[in-house]
Amino acid sequence: MDFEGKCAFLQNGGCKGELPLPSKEGAQDAEHPSKGTIGFPSEKKLRSNFFVPGWKGVNNMIEIALQNIEKYYGANHVLKGITFEIIQGERIGLLGKNGAGKTTLFKVLAGVEAIDGGNKMVRKGATIGLLDQIPDFPESYTTYDVLYSAFGDLMKVHNQMRELEKLMEKEVTDEVLKRYGNLQQLFEAKDGYSIEDNINRICIGLKIDNDMAVKEFNKLSGGEKTRIMLGRLMLEKPDILLLDEPTNHLDLSSIEWLENFLSEYKGTAIIISHDRYFLDKVVNRIVEIVDGKAELYEGNYSYYVSEKQQRYEIQMARYNEEQKKIRQLEEAAKRMHEWAKIADSGAMHRRAFSIEKRIERMEKTDKPIIERNISGGFSEYDFSSKDVILAKGLRKYFGDKKVIENLDLLIQKNERAAILGDNGSGKSTLIKIITGEIEPDGGMIKLGESIKYAYLPQIVTFDNPKLSILETVIQELNMQEGPARSLLAKYKFRQEDVHKTVENLSGGEKSRFRLCIMMQKNVNLLILDEPTNHLDIASREWLESALEDFSGTLVFVSHDRYFI
37-41, 79-83, 197-201, 486-490, range with the lowest pLDDT: 37-41
What pTM was computed for the model?
0.70
Distance (Å, rounded) from C-alpha 308 to C-alpha 240?
27
Distance (Å, rounded) from C-alpha 494 to C-alpha 295?
27
pLDDT digits (tens, 9 = 90+) for 499-518: 888 888 777 788 888 888 88
Q: How far is CA 250 from its chain centroid?
A: 12
Mean pLDDT across the chain: 81
440 has pLDDT over 50: yes
Distance (Å, rounded) from C-alpha 373 to C-alpha 539?
8
79 has pLDDT over 80: yes
pLDDT at res. 47? 32
DSSP state at residue 94: E
Mean pLDDT of 474-487: 85
Tell me the percentage of the chain whose pLDDT exceeds 90: 15
Q: In what order do the strands lie in the sheet with 128-131?
A: 128-131, 240-244, 268-272, 91-95, 285-290, 293-297
pLDDT at res. 301? 92
User: Crossing angle of helices 481-490/507-518, nearest 10°?
Assistant: 120
In three-state secondary structure terms, 89 is coil
Cβ-Cβ contacts under 8 Å for 170 (sequence gap 6 or more): none
pLDDT digits (tens, 9 = 90+) for 166-185: 888 888 888 888 888 888 88
pLDDT at res. 282? 93
Within a 10 A sphere around the Cβ of 277, how many other Cβ atoms? 22
Report phi then psi at 293, rounded to 5: -120, 160
pLDDT digits (tens, 9 = 90+) for 413-433: 888 999 988 877 888 889 899
pLDDT digits (tens, 9 = 90+) for 355-369: 888 888 888 888 877
Q: Is 129 left (phi over 0), alpha (psi -120 to 50) or beta?
A: beta
pLDDT grade, residue 383 (50/70/90)? low
Q: In what order do the strands lie in the sheet with 525-529?
A: 14-20, 4-11, 415-420, 553-557, 525-529, 453-456
* Bridge partner residues of 289 (DSSP): 294
Nearest to 229 by CA among 296, 147, 136: 147
44 has pLDDT over 50: no
Mean pLDDT of 344-351: 84
SS3 labels along 75-118: CEEEEEEEEEEEECCCEEEEECCCCCCHHHHHHHHHCCCCCCEE
pLDDT digits (tens, 9 = 90+) for 3-12: 455 555 565 5
Distance (Å, rounded) from C-alpha 246 to C-alpha 226?
9
Overall size of the chain counted in residues: 564
Report phi then psi at 464, rounded to 5: -125, 80
pLDDT digits (tens, 9 = 90+) for 120-150: 999 998 889 888 666 778 888 899 888 988 8
CA distances 168 to 157, 158, 159, 164, 193, Å, are 16, 15, 14, 6, 21
pLDDT at res. 34? 37
Tell me the percentage of the chain whose pLDDT exceeds 70: 86
Mean pLDDT of 196-207: 88
Mean pLDDT of 252-268: 87
pLDDT at res. 435? 87
Contact 277, 561 (CB under 8 A): yes
